[in-house]
């Protein structure tokens, strides 16, 4: 399932998606040093001890690369 959450919204979709889903991952774009960057955070992943930190997503010619989130 994929949901889009408008900026400033308190819930996603109808509000029940997060309850039903086994995993909830938020992707967001941000401007850092005049560059558009994509980061993600895992809000929920049933049955795992997942990271609770932001990670950057870098798109390369070999696919997606996940790296620790840093602000420059």
For 62-72, what is the mean pLDDT?
85
Tokens of 48: 């795992």
Predicted pLDDT of residue 15: 76
Predicted pLDDT of residue 56: 92
- 38-57 pLDDT tens trace: 999 999 999 999 999 999 99
Q: How far is CA 24 from CA 17, 56, 62, 71, in A?
A: 9, 17, 25, 24
Predicted pLDDT of residue 72: 64
Residue 60 has pLDDT above 80, yes or no: yes
Where residue 22 falls among pLDDT bands split at 50, 70, 90? very high
Q: How far, in Å, CA of 65 to CA of 63, rounded? A: 7
């Amino acid at each position: 399932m994929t949901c889009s959450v408008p900026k400033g919204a308190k819930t996603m979709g109808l509000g029940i998606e997060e309850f039903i889903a086994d995993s909830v991952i938020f992707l967001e774009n941000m401007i850092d040093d005049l560059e558009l960057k994509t980061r993600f955070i895992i809000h929920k992943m049933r049955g795992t001890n997942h990271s609770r930190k932001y990670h950057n997503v870098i798109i390369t010619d070999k696919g997606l690369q996940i790296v620790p989130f840093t602000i420059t």
